Structure 1
Amino acid sequence: MTDRLTPERRSWLMSRVRSKNTSPEIRVRRLAHAMGLRFRLYRNDLPGRPDLVFPRHRAVLFVHGCFWHRHSGCAKASTPKSRMEFWRTKFELNVERDRQNEAMLLALGWRVFIIWECETKSEQKIRSLLSGIAQNSFEH
């Protein structure tokens, strides 16, 4: 199946995909703040520049997009039909970089939490994850 969009239109659309302040991130941040959790955003002195950093709890939270970070079993983690080799390589590098960043953070003594874009639709899922951070729980 070929792409329905012209290469120029596809390029324009992809250029509009944001890496910061996405809707899923905003949902998580609002709820974290409402729960009394205080955090910093995108600390560039930490591996992977975590989306939210909870210094008091020595925890970081990544809000991963299902498409870019390959959420297993999620419909949003589809693979484009054109330039498949490019996308396969791109996704593999993203996943490997995520693994390396997590390993480095753990080695530095940080607890690493991940919430997927599709999970941010459920306030209960977000609340449950944030409760684990607040309770200094090591379950994630």
Structure 2
Amino acid sequence: MAHKPYYIDEEIIKVPRFEESAGFYTTKQRSANMGKIKGKNSIPELLLRKALWAKNIRYRIHKKNLPGCPDLVINKYRLAIFVDGDFWHGYNWAQKRDAIKSNALFWIPKIERNMQKDRHANASLIKMGYTVMRFWEHEVKHNLSTCVNQILLYVEACKENKIPTIE
């Protein structure tokens, strides 16, 4: 039997290649700029990690064997945490989608595909018994203590066996 990807039940959003022939042209400078964008160890992610470490919360980072490669995983409590970039993961997408003017034929499907991957990673992790928490980068930057407290409340509830379950 062939392996089915975890997103098999939804049609995959196609993202056009970023090529000159498709009307997309990148200069060496733009390519260099895009290469500097971090997918891991972003400033908001590092802020959250440092704050959790200070509260004696231990975690693993970037677990590749889990769907979506969570930024942080607290194995003991089966908690997967993501820090999503506002632009890359579509924060306030309904309003911002139409504001994209430059290379919209590439960026709109690209961001929508990222959002689709996020939904599928969430569903797969939940199916595996994980609780998933996602924080927007602006939430971590401007309300770090709120994000940390949400995680701490979950951990404390786990310690007391008071995790709400869906039945």
Is 2:140–2:147's contact at 8 Å kept on the other side of the alignment?
A: yes
Following the alignment from structure 1 to structure 2, what is the Cα–Cα distance between the partners of residues 138 and 68? Answer: 31
Following the alignment from structure 1 to structure 2, what is the Cα–Cα distance between the partners of residues 96 and 26? Answer: 25
Residues 26-105 of structure 1 correspond to what in structure 2 (within 5 A)?
26-72=46-92, 80-105=100-125
Greater Cα radius of gyration, structure 1 or 2: 2
Amino acid at match of 1:49: C
Following the alignment from structure 2 to structure 1, what is the Cα–Cα distance between the partners of residues 148 and 62? Answer: 21
Aligned length: 134
Runs of 4+ in 1 over 6 A off after TM superposition: 75-78
Q: Percent identity over the alignment?
A: 33
Moved more, 45-54 or 124-133: 124-133
Give 1:77 deviation, angstroms.
8.2
Following the alignment from structure 2 to structure 1, what is the Cα–Cα distance between the partners of residues 116 and 68? Answer: 12
Distance 1:78 1:43, change over 3 A: farther
Computed over aligned residues only, the root mean square deviation of the Cα atoms, in angstroms, reads 2.5
Aligned to 1:133: 154
The structure where helix makes up a greater share of residues is: 1
SS in 2 for 1:114: strand
Following the alignment from structure 1 to structure 2, what is the Cα–Cα distance between the partners of residues 46 and 64? Answer: 16
The TM-score normalised by the length of structure 2 is 0.72
Give 1:132 deviation, angstroms.
2.9
Amino acid at match of 2:138: C
Give 1:85 deviation, angstroms.
1.1
Give 1:14 deviation, angstroms.
1.3
Alignment gaps of 5+ in structure 2: 1-25
Distance 1:53 1:90, change over 3 A: same
